[in-house]
Amino acid sequence: MRNLNQDNITQAVLARLADTPDPRLHEILTSLVQHLHAFAREVKLTEAEWFQGIQYLTATGQMCDDKRQEFILLSDVLGLSMLTIAMNNGKPDGCTEATVFGPFYVEGAPEYAHGDDVANGAAGEPCDVYATVRGLDGEPVANAVVDVWQADEGGHYDVQKAGLGHAENRGRLRTAADGSLHFRSVLAEAYPIPVDGPVGDLLRATRRHPWRPAHLHFKIEAPGYEHLITHVFREGDQWLDSDAVFAVRQSLVAPWKQQENGRWRLDFDFVLNPLKQPA
């Protein structure tokens, strides 16, 4: 095929994909090419703009390492992460909704017992978290593996602190026989997503703020139930309606209450979706 022009090049590329053996890969690549070409036509992409895009994606890749995933951050601020989560996590009413994973989860967090302080030295106002994990039928889920992680009062996760050398504000606990869970921590505070890379450039160029409303991250796994990756957001936070990564669900917003002893307290009940039994 020679002398392709702007009217027939899309079809030529699609024809070249026709022998892709994996049907799902074929479907995805076909749609990607169609949308990419349609996008270029719609905005009448210039060569300079095409090259700027290439440079932007190159810089995004160069910002990635084992601690920083700038491509996920880009997906987050473009709403692609939350769209994908919304499309893939439809659950019956009553189940706790899922939201973004974020880049700050770390495998192998320290194991804690109920009542332990997962802050482990992180700065912040002291806080008690009481939670339960149940199935949709209300049955307590015993021995669920619950990972929790959060930022400190300065809005930083431990992995963002160079040379820290130990885990702060993250841990793994297991629910008791009655599905309950209790740990100590620090008050969750709002924080800006990292803006020292290409995602920050994009936010500045579009006059967008980088803030996420205060939240706690949870990852909950229990046999017989769908895994749940979610947050609990702090009621009253000024960024709830303009989260930089579009992740707020009203059902995940809860009050942190200050107790008479001055400590903060959060109570939250998680409801897991049972896995479908094979027929």
Interacting residues toward ligand BEZ by CB under 6 A = 73, 76, 100, 102-104, 193, 212, 245
Q: Least distance in Å: CB of 261 to Fe ion? A: 27
Q: Which residues of 222-259 are buried (b: 16+ CB within 10 A; e: fewer)?
A: beebbebbbbbbbeebebbeebbbbbbeeebbbebeee
Judged by CB, which is closer to ligand BEZ: 141, or 199? 199
Distance CA 272, CA 268 (A): 13
Binding mask 122-161 for Fe ion (x = CB under 5 A): ----------------------------------------
Judged by CB, which is closer to Fe ion: 175, or 230? 230
Residues with Cβ within 8 Å of 205's Cβ and at least 6 positions away in sequence, in order, are none
Q: Least distance in Å: CB of 220 to Fe ion? A: 16
Q: Which residues of 23-44 are buried (b: 16+ CB within 10 A; e: fewer)?
A: eeeeeebeeebeeebeebeeee
Judged by CB, which is closer to Fe ion: 164, or 176? 164
Judged by CB, which is closer to ligand BEZ: 229, or 272? 229
74 binds, among Fe ion, ligand BEZ, none (CB under 5 to 8 A by kind): none
Interacting stretch for Fe ion, rule CB under 5 A, among 23-31, 49-57, 102-110, 117-125? 102-110
Q: Are 172 and 203 in contact (CB under 8 A)?
A: no
Position closest to Fe ion via CB? 102
191 binds, among Fe ion, ligand BEZ, none (CB under 5 to 8 A by kind): none
Q: Which residues of 104-114 are buried (b: 16+ CB within 10 A; e: fewer)?
A: beeeebeebee
Q: Least distance in Å: CB of 131 to ligand BEZ? A: 18
Q: Residue 141, SS3?
A: coil
